[in-house]
Amino acid sequence: MNRLRIGTRGSDLARWQAERVASVLRARHPNVEIDLVLIESAGDRHAAASVASLGEAGIFTRAIEAALLDGRADVAVHSLKDLPTESPEGLVVAAVLPRDDPRDVLIAPSLAGRGIADGDGAAALAALPQGARIGTSSLRRRADLLRVRPDLQVVEMRGNVPTRVAKADRGEVDGVVLSRAGMARLGLVAVGCVILDVETMLPAPAQGTIAVQVRADDDATLALVRDVDDAPTRVCTDTERALLHALEGGCRVPLGALARLDGNMLLLRARLQTPDGSSILDDVDMGPATEPVALAERMALEFRAHGAARILAASRSNGNAT
């Protein structure tokens, strides 16, 4: 193979992620010429619409997958947390890159100079003004915010990462919550930015991970891409996504999940909540690293035994996204 076409969205963050994949592949395969193919997603075309109004899943990924299936691209690069847990027929996630920091950040100018340390999410949320307006399009983030501070006004906010940061800077909202990985990848520094610990805000399944998708029958590209797959990241994100799948979760489920390896064992922490944060299931479990799906399915059964169906129903009727 002498040429590889990488399909990606055109946002600064998506292009950064595609270029990162390209640089990793070039380092392993210097004789392969790599080009980016920019593709507009449904989420990009309707940037002002709420995520829920655009469909249940895949609003940022379907168009890129279509380009992969019809041969306009050889691989597709995604944020793994945006990918539905079931790939379209004929496509596989051939590689995941080493995971970046999966945590979220709160950006609120009023926190500047308050001496709040990164990782002290409780202090950061406590310091927000009464009734502060916090922007996010995520049900998961909404639920965690309201669980800790029921007085907050959580408002729907779309747009790319710099746009959302700018809205906080201009005072259109009192704060926004974003992924730390996205901020770091773009080299953005924001006034009043505090990293949130996972006790305060548990990340979305697979957050911080870049995925590379390939046609299942393209043996040459599969061999090339699988060479850069990161095994520890793969087993952890497979576990988190298996839990989401077992709960029949789509883009409107406020589920946080984070797995980590501890030697030959795998530790999974998960939190499922109603959108207002008033009802919560929180669990930690451990199992062999060789059995990630079994661990996820066991936790899903535990959640279902304690009322997950009611929480999932409340989530799907709310009309936002993770």
Q: Which of 200, 212, 203, 208 is nearest to 183 (CA)?
A: 208
3-state secondary structure of 157: coil
Q: Which pLDDT score, from 0 to 100, does residue 313 have?
A: 87
pLDDT, average across residues 59-81: 92
2 pLDDT more than 90: no
Helix (H) / strand (E) element for 68: namely helix 62-69
- 83 part of a folded domain: yes
Of the pLDDT bands very low, low, confident and very high (cuts 50, 70, 90), residue 1 is: low
CA angle (275 as vertex; 239, 129 as ends), nearest 5: 115
Q: Which pLDDT score, from 0 to 100, does residue 320 have?
A: 45
Give the orientation angle of helix 219-226 with respect to helix 12-28, to 10 degrees: 90
Residues 176 and 56 in one domain: no
Residues 112 and 147 in one domain: yes
Residues 86 and 222 in one domain: yes
pLDDT digits (tens, 9 = 90+) for 228-241: 999 999 999 999 99
pLDDT digits (tens, 9 = 90+) for 182-233: 999 999 999 999 999 999 999 999 999 999 999 999 999 999 999 999 999 9
Q: Residue 317: which CATH number?
A: 3.30.160.40
- 204 part of a folded domain: no
Q: Which pLDDT score, from 0 to 100, does residue 58 have?
A: 61
pLDDT, average across residues 278-307: 96
Q: What pTM value is reported for the model?
A: 0.91
User: What is the Cα–Cα distance from 18 to 74, expressed in whole angstroms?
Assistant: 13
* Single-letter amino acid code for the residue at 73: A
Q: Which pLDDT score, from 0 to 100, does residue 25 have?
A: 97
For residue 150, the 8-state DSSP code is T
Q: Residue 125: which CATH number?
A: 3.40.190.10
Q: Which pLDDT score, from 0 to 100, does residue 315 have?
A: 81
Residue 169 structural domain: 104-195
Residues 260 and 305 in one domain: yes
User: Mean pLDDT lowest for which of 44-58, 98-112, 193-207, 209-223?
Assistant: 44-58
Q: Which residues contact 132 (CB under 8 A, 6 or more apart)?
A: 108, 110, 149, 152, 153, 174, 175
Residues 13 and 148 in one domain: no
Inter-residue contact 122 to 10 (CB < 8 Å): no
User: What is the number of domains present in the chain?
Assistant: 3
Instruction: Give the end-to-end CA distance of the chain in Å, rounded to a whole number.
Output: 38
pLDDT, average across residues 128-140: 96
Residues 92 and 215 in one domain: yes
pLDDT digits (tens, 9 = 90+) for 144-158: 999 999 999 999 998
User: What is the Cα–Cα distance from 275 to 291, expressed in whole angstroms?
Assistant: 31
Residues 260 and 288 in one domain: yes
- 32 part of a folded domain: yes
Q: Which of 192, 199, 201, 203 is nearest to 127 (CA)?
A: 192
Q: Which pLDDT score, from 0 to 100, does residue 49 have?
A: 44
Inter-residue contact 6 to 77 (CB < 8 Å): yes
Q: Which of 74, 82, 100, 218 is catalytic?
A: 82
User: What is the Cα–Cα distance from 176 to 181, expressed in whole angstroms?
Assistant: 15
- 314 part of a folded domain: yes
pLDDT, average across residues 265-272: 98
Examine the residue annotation and report whether 70 is marked as an active-site residue of this protein: no
Residues 7 and 87 in one domain: yes
Q: Which residues contact 181 (CB under 8 A, 6 or more apart)?
A: 100, 101, 102, 207, 208
296 pLDDT more than 60: yes
For the chain, helix, strand, coil in percent to 5 are 35, 25, 40
Give the orientation angle of helix 292-305 with respect to helix 308-316, to 10 degrees: 90
Residues 72 and 157 in one domain: no
pLDDT, average across residues 98-118: 97
Q: Which pLDDT score, from 0 to 100, does residue 69 have?
A: 95
- 202 part of a folded domain: no
Q: Which pLDDT score, from 0 to 100, does residue 319 have?
A: 53
List, as own/partner pairs, every contact residues 147-154 make where C-beta atoms lie below 8 angstroms and the sequence separation is at least 24, other chains included.
147/273, 147/277, 147/278, 147/280, 148/122, 148/200, 148/277, 149/125, 150/276, 150/277, 150/278, 152/128
User: Mean pLDDT lowest for which of 114-118, 119-123, 148-152, 244-248?
Assistant: 244-248
3-state secondary structure of 117: coil
Q: Which pLDDT score, from 0 to 100, does residue 321 have?
A: 46
Q: Which pLDDT score, from 0 to 100, does residue 54 have?
A: 40
